[in-house]
Structure 1
Amino acid sequence: MTLLFKKLRQPLVLGYIIAGFIVGPYSGWFPAVTDTVNIHTWSEIGIIILMFSLGLEFNLHKLASVGGTAIITAITEVVSMLAVGYGCGQLMGWNKMDSIFLGGMLSMSSTTIIIKAFEDFNMKGKKFTELVFGTLVIEDIAGIFMMVILSTIAVSQGISGGELAASLVKMVFYLALWLLLGIYWLPTLLQKTQNLMNDETLLVVSLGLCFGMVLLATHLGFSSALGAFLAGSLLAGTIHMEEIEHVSKPVKDLFGAVFFISVGMMVNPALIMEYAGPIVIITITTIVGKAIFSTLGVLGSGQPLQTSILCGFSLAQIGEFSFIIASLGISLGVISEYIYPIVVSVSVITTFTTPFVIRSAEGAYAFVNKHLPAKFSDYLNRHTSEDRSEAEKDSDWNAFVKKFFSRLTLYAVIMLGIILGGTSFVRPFLNAYMDSTIAAILTVLAILIVMAPFLRQGLFQKNEFFIPLWFKNRTNRLPLLVLLSLRFAIMVFLVALPIRILFHFAAFYILLAAAAMIFFIARSEWLITPYLQIEARFLTNFNERKLNERKDAGLEHNWLDERIYVSSVTLNRESSVINKRLLDLSITKRFDMKIIKIIRNDKHINIPAGTEKLLPGDIIFIAGTLDGLNNTDVVSDFDLTKKAAGEFATLHDFINHQEHYAEADQLLSFAITVEKGSALAGVRIKDSKIKSEWGSLLLGLERDLYPIIFPNINMRLQENDLLWILGSQKMAGKLAKMDLL
């Protein structure tokens, strides 16, 4: 069958289904596989491998690049088809559970079939195909959520808002926690064991992780598909993804075939004949419904009518995810036997119709465009555009809120995970060896110690949009204070939670103790260092693939030129910073900027000390990020200089255009590697004497290619860190003598 369908240039999925039917219990043409329990077992293994492979094609960077159009389209299509499918089932007289699962099956398009059609028509790389692939990514994520929702509904045999919300919150929490832990530990583990990895060990480790996550997911009450998908998505963010995909492809092909063959085995021709009417109705509903609602979703996101129709018509089918949802319903025993062959039949029919539907999209656009009322056509042209940007710049408020809640959620998830680990594992372990009260006290202390670095960072997280909003409009101040109070309240709650779980004190005393602990933690500078080490490791691992791609392209050190900018300002007598020391300037502290030079009466003060006072007539040169300089422009009385094009000069431009200064007055930038055994290794930046003895400024560092601009002075330097140093010719001579250059 595989060879036959390859010859006919049709998807192999159809060949597998027919092959399964031929050897299944309903055909009678060949010695049949009659053990339906065995069929279900192999089907579930097939689903696990398929979901693992799907996860390998998905990572968080890919999700971030999807854009608003794909998100709006996917949500519109999934929600609409859920409702349409449910309504269709009810109109045909099906019970509630069958109708709910039908809606779930009809909401998922087929990635396999769409890719095949685009390849046949040579459409890959066009604008609308990229939007379709983005929509499929969001659909896959929605499918995972949907399986959790359907499982909850199936178990309770009804729709309970509270149970659904609890399951979703629980799933999101565990999903976030697993991703965070996976990103922190997994790339590091693979890197440490790289010399031990050949094709065989890499395959075994990858599949071991997959089935381990499946066990963990089912233990926590989620589907095996969720665990497999998550395992794949964790590995997708590592530099080993291509190798893993390569070595696991035969396994995926084999067990993918096993799954679709098991689908074919469950097809009952008698049921298909009996339910021919519903098959026709559901097929028409699928094609028409998905084409219309997908088109409306793309159109609603701001894309033009032609692009919207091309996208909508491409998504008008169901496929492998629908089988997975049907398998879930069968395994839970909550849907009728006839659903499975009906869904398979609809999928087979829509597989054959997809190329014709895609080909008819241009004709449909011409017809719709011709018959649209003139006023409506003008409205669409005004509100949609082919060049509409997916990444329009957010307002300061949008950017502030987005960063505020994303960081707050991140810290909350981590701290809840620590609390969960402490109460679920540490407490029972200690209880076995000591008095329960002492065990509870030690558990709380352990939880608070591990939480402390994240708690402090959560309390004092920097948000560069806060100051501009505060100064732009007085009406912004109350909502900003409310948000800060909310953050403080959440931190107090997170500290109080483990105390409340393990002890039964009055709420007043618990909150009082939590507030006291937060006050102590907030004043503890030593907590910054461990957090910074954790954050640096996390960010390096999270961006591992992108950083490796930059390295392969020879772009590993271009970040400095791209991200650090320089501007200057001449101070007059009315300036608010006159007679202030550099270390007292709030502007530079708030926006992570550095004064790199002062010209005073033609005298150049390079890398001035923090005790240097600013005087009238001083020309000060400020280095910082683009956001930092823009915000300084907004909230201060500085009139920062820009280039003729109205942009700030990069540090690279500044260094290369100092010919009008004497050589001794020019600033230079160098990269220094912290060698093994170096006196800098393991030293905090503030103790490294880079500024006090070298007369230099640490602009940033690269750790495993990950760039950190203006790192916190409490960060410890590590072996192989690449330090970017700014200083004078005199500094260069010192570094050369020290054999650092």
Structure 2
Amino acid sequence: MHIPSLVMDLAMMLIVAGIVSIIFRKLNLPVILGYILAGFITSPYFPLFFNVEDQETISTLSELGVIIILFHIGLEFDFHKLLSVGSTAIVTAIVKMSGVLAVGYCFGTMIGLSRMNSVFLGAMLSISSTVVIRKAFDELGVAGEKYTSLVMGTLIMEDLFGVFIMVILSSLAVRQNTGGTELMIHLGLMGCYLVVWLLLGIFLLPTFLNKIMTLMNREMLVVLSLGICFCMALIARRLGFSVELGAFLAGSLFAGTKHAEEVEESTSAIKDMFSVIFFLSVGMLVDPSVIAEQWTSILPIAIIAILAKLIFASLGMVLSGQSLGTAIRSGFSLAPIGEFSYIIASLGISLGVMDSYLYPVIVAASVLTTLITPVLIRSSGRFTEFLRGHLPEKVLDKMTQYSSSEQDKEEKIPDWGVWLRQYFQSLLLYGTIMLVAAVAGVHLAAPALENLTNGIWAGVISCGGIYMVIALFLRPMLKFHDKVFTRLWLDSKANRPPMVLLICIKVILISVIVFYPIHQMFGAHRSILFIAVLVAILVLSKTDFITTSYLEMETRFLRNLNEKTIHRLQQENGQQEWLNEDINIFSYYVPEDAPYIGKQLSELEWGRRYDVLVVKIRRGERSILLPQGSMEVQAGDKLYVVGNLAAVCNLHKALDIDPPRRIRTLRAFMETDYPDTENALACLAIQVTGCEPYCGQSIMNTQILNKGHCMILGIQKNGYPVVMPDPHLTIRKDDVIWVMGSNNNVGRLAAFSVCSL
């Protein structure tokens, strides 16, 4: 029987890899280097009795290995993990990678490399090896020290930036003969692609997995997760981006779900297998004759990589507020050229823009940096003492002062910084969604509909869909009355002109997006159509249907985004009584000269303006629980107001009243106040069974306040808490609603829910 050459190739490659890896493990050397050596042994460059025959298939398998590796790198990235690495890791990664990339590019041009070869050389040198560094920390017994956690955080950010460097390099390679404008447009489209796919993935994938996981076994989970991985890679390729970007995105979407560990565990064996084949293929491309010829380049490249990483990584650590010792130790630790560099090298060769002789050069340089890394880590302490002994005292004092001031800075970001971050987040997020909807409707939906109906109706239907999407996201994009906005607006009149200007910029952007479909699909009466459509969108965005639909989408999205964290907290602590601790309550007496005396609570609009609620009024000896909006405020009334701490502080500032001596949590208030049960406020969590008359209705339509005389302060949807929910939010089965009212009314509402079972 004929044995296919691929079977023979894999048999020999894996046997050699297994033997060499055992030897390397025994010698305490990185196993990855063993796989590269095994690849070299089975390559045509090694005089052995056996050489790989089916090189093309092995190359294809190694490309699959890259896709699966990127998928698993994506599995390590969820948004909460990125936030947890801190500013030090982000600053260090940016400074180090940009600095080393620039140095590598300059060195490449100095030794006569082409522009693209120099760019790829800089990119390959800029990324450090996570595997080698982690192993060195474990062997040297320093894994628990402060600087090692900073280094690992930096490596997380480097892997993330490495993915985007690959995407940018692919774009540069394909469009190296085009202008900068076209390249920027392509990168902008890539940004839109990332935003849209991340939003769709976060919105759909966790919900889909939660519905089907009871039907899944390990085998089915492997098939599904890898199917989604390759599907995302294919879509990315069809849209003109790299397959690696699609695979990374697929992994990052799984990373945010509570099933991420199951997916990683189920696919790890396949990842290990294809990773081995990839590193074997790296070794098969190592030509010893090229290494012998280029030895004068390999040694300088290794030295430059070590020195540049030491300088720029240490600089990044110092700029982020770390001490000199921490910075130097971190810089020495980040010396080894990473396994990501092999992926970038493979990308350059596959795109035909990097000379093949650079492949063995970078592999040889990475081996040198890997072998010297433990020595560098051991000597980092001595080098730090050397610097301290030779640097001027003034320099050391300034560095110490800077480090102390940076680390002692109050973590609270100024209000302007918080609001600007929120402003640009909403501008980029919702603006991208609206823009993508407009472009997709004009260039995809309209041409497709023209095959089914005439041109006018195709345009009308496409515009209807576009403007429905715009109306859906108009409200959150133009939402300004949050706590930070209110605080800035009240703090100083000087804040108001720039804030109004930024609001106008959003309005202009929305107007341009609204006008684009009209301009593209309708020739006559564009101005009239534009005004009519703009008014219709504004009216539509205020309707209960649109508002409720958006709130449902937002709650589901945020719940899915935080699913992993919610699942972990529930496993650790069970169902937490979160609302009792998240909401504060304070009381104050209405002064005689208050400008709002005689006004109804509904006229004051404190809920909309400041996100607070008046839950009780004490008027003389009389207590009014959960007063209606028609209730007028009188001088001498004692108002009890609930809200979170920021909202309460905003109300103090707006009313120009002295802050109370104490602001208690809702739990503390209910535990200490009023032995009179008739006038006492109670707060209770009620599980919605689905049989209640208010299930499936928005809060404003439930009659819980008007008939049940209770107020909803929060809703928990699948574990995700919504504090002080919008009245348009719909109550669903299995939600947990937190209601406040008198003991009797809250008890009746809870009993009614139980009786409905």
Q: TM-score range by the shorter chain?
A: over 0.9
Among residues 705, 720, 723, which one is paired with 1:691 in the alignment?
705
Question: In structure 1, what is the Cα distance between the partners aligned to 2:649 and 2:142?
Answer: 42
Q: Which residue of 2 aligns with 1:703?
A: 717
Letter of the structure 2 residue corresponding to residue 707 of structure 1? P
Question: In structure 2, what is the Cα distance between the partners aligned to 1:638 and 1:116?
Answer: 60
Q: Which residue of 1 aligns with 2:513?
A: 494
Query: CA distance change for structure 1 residues 674 and 38 in 2, over 3 Å: closer, same or farther?
Result: same
Give yes or no for the alignment of 1:732 onto 2:746. yes
Give yes or no for the alignment of 1:40 onto 2:55. no
Among residues 432, 447, 452, which one is paired with 1:428 in the alignment?
447
Q: Which 5+ residue runs of structure 1 have no aligned equivalent?
A: none
- Could you say what secondary structure the match of 1:244 adopts? helix
Letter of the structure 2 residue corresponding to residue 54 of structure 1? I
Alignment map for 1:557-572 (pairs within 5 Å): 557-572=576-591
Question: In structure 1, what is the Cα distance between the partners aligned to 2:131 and 2:304?
Answer: 21
Task: Tell me if the contact between 2:41 and 2:48 (Cα under 8 Å) persists in the aligned partners.
Answer: yes
Question: In structure 2, what is the Cα distance between the partners aligned to 1:339 and 1:391?
Answer: 48
Among residues 42, 46, 51, which one is paired with 1:23 in the alignment?
42
Q: Which residue of 2 aligns with 1:623?
A: 642
After superposition, the C-alpha distances for 1:693-715 in whole angstroms (9 at most, x for unaligned) are 11111010100000001111111
Query: CA distance change for structure 1 residues 564 and 436 in 2, over 3 Å: closer, same or farther?
Result: same
Query: CA distance change for structure 1 residues 160 and 30 in 2, over 3 Å: closer, same or farther?
Result: farther
Offset at 1:560? Answer: 1.0
Task: Tell me if the contact between 1:24 and 1:34 (Cα under 8 Å) persists in the aligned partners.
Answer: no
After superposition, the C-alpha distances for 1:226-246 in whole angstroms (9 at most, x for unaligned) are 111110000000010110111
After superposition, the C-alpha distances for 1:356-400 in whole angstroms (9 at most, x for unaligned) are 111111111111112111111111111103981687111111111
Compare 558-567 and 237-246 and name the one that shifted more. 558-567
Give yes or no for the alignment of 1:712 onto 2:726. yes
Q: Which residue of 2 aligns with 1:653?
A: 668
Task: Tell me if the contact between 2:44 and 2:51 (Cα under 8 Å) persists in the aligned partners.
Answer: yes
Query: CA distance change for structure 1 residues 159 and 427 in 2, over 3 Å: closer, same or farther?
Result: closer
- Could you say what secondary structure the match of 1:725 adopts? strand
Query: CA distance change for structure 1 residues 465 and 553 in 2, over 3 Å: closer, same or farther?
Result: same
Question: In structure 2, what is the Cα distance between the partners aligned to 1:277 and 1:598?
Answer: 84
Scaled by the length of structure 2, the TM-score of the pair is 0.94
Compare 474-483 and 630-639 and name the one that shifted more. 630-639
Offset at 1:509? Answer: 4.6
After superposition, the C-alpha distances for 1:324-364 in whole angstroms (9 at most, x for unaligned) are 11111100111111100001111111111111111111111
Query: CA distance change for structure 1 residues 481 and 739 in 2, over 3 Å: closer, same or farther?
Result: closer
Task: Tell me if the contact between 2:486 and 2:610 (Cα under 8 Å) persists in the aligned partners.
Answer: no
Task: Tell me if the contact between 1:47 and 1:256 (Cα under 8 Å) persists in the aligned partners.
Answer: yes
Scaled by the length of structure 1, the TM-score of the pair is 0.96
Offset at 1:557? Answer: 2.1
Task: Tell me if the contact between 2:614 and 2:639 (Cα under 8 Å) persists in the aligned partners.
Answer: yes
Among residues 305, 325, 330, which one is paired with 1:311 in the alignment?
330
Question: In structure 1, what is the Cα distance between the partners aligned to 2:26 and 2:197?
Answer: 44
Letter of the structure 2 residue corresponding to residue 689 of structure 1? Q
Letter of the structure 1 residue corresponding to residue 626 of structure 2? I
Query: CA distance change for structure 1 residues 391 and 676 in 2, over 3 Å: closer, same or farther?
Result: farther
Give yes or no for the alignment of 1:14 onto 2:33. yes
Q: How many residues align?
A: 736
Question: In structure 1, what is the Cα distance between the partners aligned to 2:410 and 2:357?
Answer: 46
Task: Tell me if the contact between 2:541 and 2:547 (Cα under 8 Å) persists in the aligned partners.
Answer: no
Query: CA distance change for structure 1 residues 98 and 462 in 2, over 3 Å: closer, same or farther?
Result: same
Offset at 1:304? Answer: 1.1
Q: Which residue of 1 aligns with 2:3?
A: none
Among residues 536, 541, 544, which one is paired with 2:555 in the alignment?
536
Percent identity over the alignment is: 40
Q: Which residue of 1 aligns with 2:95?
A: 76
Task: Tell me if the contact between 2:321 and 2:407 (Cα under 8 Å) persists in the aligned partners.
Answer: yes
Give yes or no for the alignment of 1:111 onto 2:130. yes
Q: Which residue of 2 aligns with 1:147?
A: 166
Question: In structure 1, what is the Cα distance between the partners aligned to 2:266 and 2:409?
Answer: 36
Task: Tell me if the contact between 2:93 and 2:316 (Cα under 8 Å) persists in the aligned partners.
Answer: yes
Compare 259-268 and 455-464 and name the one that shifted more. 455-464
Among residues 537, 541, 565, which one is paired with 1:546 in the alignment?
565
Among residues 413, 433, 446, which one is paired with 1:394 in the alignment?
413
Offset at 1:555? Answer: 4.5
Letter of the structure 1 residue corresponding to residue 669 of structure 2? F
After superposition, the C-alpha distances for 1:438-497 in whole angstroms (9 at most, x for unaligned) are 112111112212332112332235432112212211111110110111111112122222
Give yes or no for the alignment of 1:582 onto 2:601. yes
Task: Tell me if the contact between 2:471 and 2:538 (Cα under 8 Å) persists in the aligned partners.
Answer: no
Offset at 1:167? Answer: 2.5
Question: In structure 2, what is the Cα distance between the partners aligned to 1:396 and 1:87?
Answer: 42
Offset at 1:553? Answer: 0.9
Query: CA distance change for structure 1 residues 737 and 221 in 2, over 3 Å: closer, same or farther?
Result: closer
Question: In structure 2, what is the Cα distance between the partners aligned to 1:558 and 1:132?
Answer: 37
Question: In structure 2, what is the Cα distance between the partners aligned to 1:637 and 1:91?
Answer: 67
Give yes or no for the alignment of 1:277 onto 2:296. yes
Task: Tell me if the contact between 1:313 and 1:357 (Cα under 8 Å) persists in the aligned partners.
Answer: yes
Letter of the structure 2 residue corresponding to residue 19 of structure 1? A
Compare 433-442 and 161-170 and name the one that shifted more. 161-170
Offset at 1:503? Answer: 3.0
Question: In structure 1, what is the Cα distance between the partners aligned to 2:271 and 2:186?
Answer: 30
Letter of the structure 2 residue corresponding to residue 657 of structure 1? T
Compare 479-488 and 625-634 and name the one that shifted more. 625-634
Compare 576-585 and 289-298 and name the one that shifted more. 576-585
Offset at 1:513? Answer: 4.0
Q: Which residue of 2 aligns with 1:238?
A: 257
Among residues 350, 366, 371, which one is paired with 1:331 in the alignment?
350
Among residues 90, 108, 115, which one is paired with 1:89 in the alignment?
108
- Could you say what secondary structure the match of 2:721 adopts? strand
Offset at 1:524? Answer: 2.9
After superposition, the C-alpha distances for 1:92-124 in whole angstroms (9 at most, x for unaligned) are 122222111101111111111111112222333
Letter of the structure 1 residue corresponding to residue 691 of structure 2? G
Task: Tell me if the contact between 2:483 and 2:611 (Cα under 8 Å) persists in the aligned partners.
Answer: no
Task: Tell me if the contact between 2:286 and 2:363 (Cα under 8 Å) persists in the aligned partners.
Answer: yes
Letter of the structure 2 residue corresponding to residue 219 of structure 1? R
Offset at 1:16? Answer: 0.6
Letter of the structure 2 residue corresponding to residue 667 of structure 1? L
Compare 408-417 and 510-519 and name the one that shifted more. 510-519
Letter of the structure 1 residue corresponding to residue 564 of structure 2? R
Task: Tell me if the contact between 1:567 and 1:640 (Cα under 8 Å) persists in the aligned partners.
Answer: no
- Could you say what secondary structure the match of 2:298 adopts? helix
Query: CA distance change for structure 1 residues 460 and 736 in 2, over 3 Å: closer, same or farther?
Result: closer
Give yes or no for the alignment of 1:370 onto 2:389. yes
Offset at 1:627? Answer: 1.3
- Could you say what secondary structure the match of 1:726 adopts? strand
Q: Which 5+ residue runs of structure 2 have no aligned equivalent?
A: 1-19
Q: Which residue of 1 aligns with 2:736?
A: 722
Offset at 1:15? Answer: 0.8
Alignment map for 1:602-621 (pairs within 5 Å): 602-621=621-640
